Structures are given as structure tokens and as C-alpha cells.
Structure 1
């Protein structure tokens, strides 16, 4: 299986490459921060590969992110069951309205069942749950509580998954998402973040899943 692994930034890409080693069919590419950059860059890479006669059959959004502290520990892994565009909608006096409720589309992207099963089977210590895609990282307790109430099955948040998922759906390839947890979702406390541990977890995850992805 030829798989594109999309990270937001180069430091995440480097962490994944360290785990994968030299694998021709697993390509790691930083695609930018935020859902718009992620969607545009991923769609471009998938389209160029198709035009060159070397299409990808799957794309994996992989990087660090925040986690709900009662669900996953810092340095832990989350394998997404769904990627959700959590702030794509509208505010109203009655509360937040999702893009689905507005009738303009879907905020939820389901991951590919076969890819999800493979990742869960290999990453046995990982938490499985929804991963929220946000354009603004949560930094307040009230915002964290709001997201938790709205998405009770959420385990983590990041900034790219839903964008990568949209590109994958448009191009007709399988999609999945993995997040390594660097910080707790809630009041912003940069000193408490464990980015190094999260990057190490990315490297370990990549080393664990590499053979299985190539064998698909």
C-alpha cells in the first residue's frame, strides 16, 4: 500500500521518518498548519501522485496535539475513530450550531475501517476516540468544557485532521489519523507541555506501524 503521511510541520515529519526508516511506499510530507493548508496541500500531493502514475491508496494525518486529561496521558497516543471539524458552524442565542445543523455539509469525517483496525491492532496502548480539528487551539477551561459537552467521545484536538480527511475523500483514498499528546486541553500552560515526549511517541508509533502499512 502506498501511503502518504501528512504532518503539519517539519519537526513532526522528522519524528515520523526516524521511526519509519527507509521505506519507498511510505512518504512523509509536512503540509502546513490548520485545516485549510492541510486540505490544499494534501489534495495537491494526492493529485500530483495520481498524474504521475504513482497514486496513493491511503493518507494518514499524523502529528502532535492536545488531549483531554481524563482520557489520555501526556505522551500517549490517540487513534482517531472520526475526525471532526469542531469549530465549523455558527454561534446562536440557542447555542452552537454545527455545519450539519445548518444544512451546509458535514463536520464529521469517518476514518477508513481497515486502516483504523490496523492501527488499533498494532498500537495496542493507544486510546481510540474522536479527534477534533480546530482553527484556534483551546486555551481556556470554559472552551474545553464546551467542546467536551458537544463531543463526548472526543479524546484529542489538533489543527489538520479534518482538512486532510476532506482531501482524501475528494481524491478517493483511504484516511486515518494518529495524534501523540503534548498537552492537556484546557487553560494554556506552555511550561507544562511535553513536546519532546510527544515527538518520541510519534517516532515509536511510526516504527510500530511501518511494516503493516507497507504490507496492506
Structure 2
């Protein structure tokens, strides 16, 4: 039986996932939809939710699945995921799969509140460098030296662009790690895994969306930034930890997939427009589907047939996957 590490940011997300793992869909507790989605591992009902010590972290475990609330943001998520993977390797019980699960903002036109998103591409949207100026800075009160002025600085301290210096066309540009030659700002989950989870999650009855999920350090709070991200990356959802967890998993040679439940639209920050209960309910249903489906977490890899693995992830209204 494959061992899976599920990483969330906060305890509320981990609680929702654990509620799903406890088997509200398990045999004898709730009616399951007719068909293959109601095939549950015979041993699953006998598994109890227990604590699992992972170095300085404490996770919750049921059967082959361990859930860890690692903390908010990329650094915390990477530290938690890497520690859990290292401890599991040292104990001789390595994880075979890492899932990043949690709530996220959805980009309008792609993902709405309550939808489930499976990332086809995970992009660190603000990891890189800005290039050029998109507007004149406010007037400064400090003086600069004549040397600085001769080097091309305004009295405000901002560098000027001389004609023909090749920088004027890059005003407001963003340079990724790829552009800078410092690695890659993108992680790409295995397409077969993305398709597999898209199929599995379809059992929830929720709308399933696949596409680019951006990882940010600062959550978008303006329509201007949402539009800029859309123009540059065409994402379906925004979260904070996916890229970091994917890199931690890659360091240990373990495949990773990001699954998100949409809690709010990306754009102007408006807490009144958020619906965390709906998103957490979707997250719980996603976790339940993963353990209830024969191609979910309780299944060994050999049970994934060639026909099942070849099915593309889709959303609930029959629209094909968004590739971003």
C-alpha cells in the first residue's frame, strides 16, 4: 500500500482533510454512489486516526496517509514537507506521494467558490526580479551627489533611461528564475497523476478544474495585480505553498500533486466575498474521495489501468482541461 504525505498550511485545512479521511464515505456509514467509486479498501474501516511524530512536527495518520499542517507560506511548507520526507526515509518507511491540499483563491472565469482545482503547472509567481519602471516614483526629499547625477539618476534617486540603452522596452517587466538563469520558477506534476486525481475527485460531485496554480508570498488584494497575473500566467487559482512543497518532494524523488478548494475570487480583497466553509467542505469531500476511489490513496499503483490513467482531468460541466 502506497504511503502518502498530505501537507496543508493551517490546522483548519488539516482538520477538513482528516474529516474526509475518517471516512464519512466509508462502508456502512454513508451511501456511496453506484459503480467503482464505492470500492473501499477492506482494511480502511479498521484504521484509526493517530498522531505521527515527524521530527519537531506532529502529524495525524490514518492507514497509509499522514496529514501535516506545516504552516503558512512557502518557507514553512517546504521545511515541514522536507522534514517529514527525511524522517520517513530514515525510518525505512518512505512516502511514495506528496499532496499539497488547502484552500485557494480562484481566478474569475476559471474557478469559482467550492470548485476543486488540480494543478497541471505550479508557478512561483513572484519569485524573480522586476525590470524597469512602470511609473514615476514620488518626489524624494533627500539630495544625491553630483556623481550619482552624472551616472544618470534623477534628483529623486531613480535611474533615468537613456535612448538606445535597451531598457525602455522592459519597463514593468518581470524576470523569472528561468530568465535569470537561476533555476526554474515552475514545477510540473506528472500529467498521468493529474489526470488520475481529476478522475478520482469527480466522485465528489464538485466542479473539477485543471490548470496553472500560482504560488505567491503575498496574496493578491487588488484587481490590478489579478489582471497582471492573468496576463502573464493565465492561472486558474492562487495559493501560497504549492511550489515550495513540490520542490521539497522533488529533492527526495517523490511525485507531488497540488489540490485546492476555492474559497474566494482573486482580486480586490473583500473578506465578505469569502466562503471558507464551502471550501473546507470541498476539501473534506476531496479527501474522502481519495480514500474511497479504487484509484485513490488506498490503491496500489498497479490498480491504475492504462485506460484510467489516460483519461484527462476535466471539470464538472464537461469543459476540457484549461492548460494555462
TM-score range, shorter chain: over 0.9
Q: Secondary structure at the match of 1:14?
A: helix
The whole-number CA distance in structure 1 between the counterparts of 2:277 and 2:257 is: 23
Q: Report the Cα offset of residue 122 of structure 1.
A: 1.3
Higher relative contact order (CA 8 A, sep 6+): 1
* Pairing 1:134–2:135 present: no
Q: Report the Cα offset of residue 34 of structure 1.
A: 0.6
The whole-number CA distance in structure 2 between the counterparts of 1:115 and 1:55 is: 19
Question: Which structure has more helix as a fraction of its residues?
Answer: 1
Which residue pairs with 2:164 in the alignment? none
* Pairing 1:215–2:299 present: yes
Which residue pairs with 2:12 in the alignment? 11
- Cα deviation, 1:142-169, whole Å, max 9, x if unaligned, reads 10000001102x1101000000001000
The whole-number CA distance in structure 1 between the counterparts of 2:223 and 2:98 is: 33
- Cα deviation, 1:13-47, whole Å, max 9, x if unaligned, reads 00001011143101111011111111111001000
The whole-number CA distance in structure 2 between the counterparts of 1:115 and 1:9 is: 25
Q: Report the Cα offset of residue 112 of structure 1.
A: 2.4
The whole-number CA distance in structure 1 between the counterparts of 2:283 and 2:246 is: 19
Which residue pairs with 1:106 in the alignment? 184
Question: Which structure has more strand as a fraction of its residues?
Answer: 1
- Cα deviation, 1:100-141, whole Å, max 9, x if unaligned, reads 101101010011233212211112331001110000000001
Q: Secondary structure at the match of 2:183?
A: coil
The whole-number CA distance in structure 1 between the counterparts of 2:290 and 2:192 is: 13
Structure 1 stretches of at least 4 aligned residues deviating more than 2 Å after TM superposition: 112-115
Aligned pair count reads 215
The whole-number CA distance in structure 2 between the counterparts of 1:38 and 1:197 is: 24
The whole-number CA distance in structure 1 between the counterparts of 2:14 and 2:196 is: 21
Which residue pairs with 2:308 in the alignment? none
Q: Secondary structure at the match of 2:285?
A: helix
TM-score, normalised relative to structure 2: 0.65
The whole-number CA distance in structure 1 between the counterparts of 2:240 and 2:279 is: 16
Q: Secondary structure at the match of 1:91?
A: strand
- Cα deviation, 1:165-199, whole Å, max 9, x if unaligned, reads 01000011010000100010000001110001000
User: RMSD of the TM alignment (CA)?
Assistant: 1.0
Q: Secondary structure at the match of 2:287?
A: helix
1:151 to 225, 233, 251: 233
- Counterparts of 1:23-38 in structure 2, within 5 Å, are 23-38=62-77
The whole-number CA distance in structure 2 between the counterparts of 1:52 and 1:104 is: 34
Q: Secondary structure at the match of 1:6?
A: strand
The whole-number CA distance in structure 2 between the counterparts of 1:210 and 1:177 is: 17
Structure of higher CA gyration radius: 2
* Pairing 1:51–2:52 present: no
The whole-number CA distance in structure 2 between the counterparts of 1:142 and 1:170 is: 35
* Pairing 1:185–2:266 present: yes
